[in-house]
A = this chain, B = another copy of it.
Amino acid sequence: MKAAVAGASGYAGGELLRLLSAHPAFEIGALTAGSSAGGALGAHQPHLPALAGRVLAETTAETLRGHDVVFLALPHGRSAAIAAQLGEDTLVVDCGADFRLDDPAEWVRFYGGEHAGTWPYGLPELPGQRDLLRGARRVAVPGCYPTSATLALFPAFAAGLAEPDVVVVAASGTSGAGRSLKTHLLGSEVMGSVGAYNVGGAHRHTPEMEQNLSKVAGTPVKVSFTPMLAPMSRGILATCTAPAAPGLTAAALREAYAAAVKDEPFLRLLPEGVWPATAMTVGANTAALQVTLDERAGRVVAVVAIDNLTKGTAGGAIQSANLALGLAEELGLPLNGVAP
């Protein structure tokens, strides 16, 4: 099958290409870019020598048409126009935010502008979601933070073990902000420093977390979300906590998590006492997960580590594409990471 990548010069695009290159079912077709169009991929992704000579085309429907799947790794707000011009014969997998939210009012509140619509949400681990992705022609890839927070807490909410008043505090590597020229993303500013940003409900991933967890819980879930920028290129570590349901025991909690991940190819509940670190997942499509009951504070505390570019973006996108195209869900997606 032929796969195109729009936005091939960015970090998400690079990760898509790294994974697609090693994927047995995909041949890499068109690569497109914005201001970098016309140049060779090698100038932007020097870690991908196997594709160094490929020339970047402009991001147009003409270029992207005729592929079995098109991965869009574009700035938010750009996907709808392109997708509208691609027929149903092409699977379109959008790594941007345009089609993630159900509620147009939430879209307007957090992103502004018109809501483009809602596509099947590409998180197969969300209960019931896998079936919606099989055969889908459009997929909205989740945000990296919502991926982490949802994977951390869906087992608790699915089993009714937590109250719907969630606190998420998550540290992300800098690649989550893309290859954008902003002072606060300079190496000199980032190295040796952890900082918070978009605190107090300001981050756009907040309604997406609430949407996911509310569906699982069957009741509205509030999320207080604080993101942090950490001095590393890749990875998200999310600490997610909610009040324990009355009478919850540690054993029941662990059992629920064990059951929830049992058949999931990419979720790993770590051995008791081992807590996730992002180094466990670099370059892999896995989520490393641990949970405990803090009896003193009366809270469920779940921690998850993912690679924001792999499971959090490009790997998650391919996982959903595999499902949509009738391939094995795990195909071409690494379980083993790169460490140290």
Tell me the A residues contacting B by CB distance below 8 Å. 11, 14, 17-18, 21-22, 42, 45-52, 165, 167, 169, 171, 173-175, 177, 179, 181-183, 185-197, 199-201, 206, 222-224, 226, 228-235, 237, 239, 241, 243, 268, 270-271, 274-284, 286, 288, 290, 292-299, 301, 303, 305, 334-340
- In the complex, are the beta carbons of B194 and A237 less than 8 A apart? yes
CA distance A253 to B237 in the complex (A): 29
Question: From A340, which residue of chain B is reached at the shortest CB distance?
Answer: B188
CA distance A17 to B335 in the complex (A): 12
CA distance A298 to B166 in the complex (A): 11
Minimum CB–CB distance from A290 to chain B (whole Å) comes to 7
Cβ–Cβ < 8 Å partners of A292 in chain B: 199-200
Cβ–Cβ < 8 Å partners of A193 in chain B: 232, 235, 277-279, 282
- In the complex, are the beta carbons of B336 and A21 less than 8 A apart? yes
Minimum CB–CB distance from A161 to chain B (whole Å) comes to 14
Question: From A268, which residue of chain B is reached at the shortest CB distance?
Answer: B49
Question: From A184, which residue of chain B is reached at the shortest CB distance?
Answer: B277
- In the complex, are the beta carbons of A336 and B185 less than 8 A apart? no
- Of A47, A234, A274, the most chain B CB neighbours within 10 A belong to A47
Cβ–Cβ < 8 Å partners of A206 in chain B: 296
Given contacts A49-B336, A226-B239, A294-B224, contact A232 B186 (CB under 8 A): no
Minimum CB–CB distance from A181 to chain B (whole Å) comes to 4
Top 4 A-B residue pairs of the complex, sorted by shortest distance between their CB atoms: A195-B277, A187-B190, A193-B279, A200-B292
- In the complex, are the beta carbons of A181 and B179 less than 8 A apart? no
CA distance A139 to B199 in the complex (A): 35
Given contacts A174-B186, A340-B11, contact A232 B194 (CB under 8 A): yes
Give the residue of B18, B171, B188, B334 whose beta carbon is less than 8 angstroms from that of A173: B188
Minimum CB–CB distance from A222 to chain B (whole Å) comes to 5
- In the complex, are the beta carbons of B232 and A47 less than 8 A apart? no
> Could you list 30 A-B pairs, sorted by A, with CB under 8 Å?
A18-B338, A42-B271, A46-B274, A46-B279, A48-B336, A49-B336, A167-B241, A171-B171, A174-B191, A177-B188, A179-B188, A179-B340, A187-B191, A187-B231, A190-B191, A191-B191, A191-B231, A191-B340, A192-B232, A193-B277, A195-B305, A196-B290, A196-B303, A199-B275, A199-B290, A199-B303, A201-B296, A224-B241, A226-B301, A226-B303
- In the complex, are the beta carbons of B186 and A181 less than 8 A apart? yes
- In the complex, are the beta carbons of B49 and A335 less than 8 A apart? yes
Give the residue of B179, B200, B231, B339 whose beta carbon is less than 8 angstroms from that of A293: B200
CA distance A33 to B284 in the complex (A): 25
- In the complex, are the beta carbons of B241 and A334 less than 8 A apart? no
Given contacts A297-B201, A298-B222, A301-B200, contact A237 B195 (CB under 8 A): yes
Given contacts A183-B181, A193-B235, A231-B231, contact A339 B297 (CB under 8 A): no
CA distance A141 to B217 in the complex (A): 44
CA distance A200 to B174 in the complex (A): 28
CA distance A231 to B229 in the complex (A): 11
Minimum CB–CB distance from A228 to chain B (whole Å) comes to 6
Cβ–Cβ < 8 Å partners of A335 in chain B: 49-50
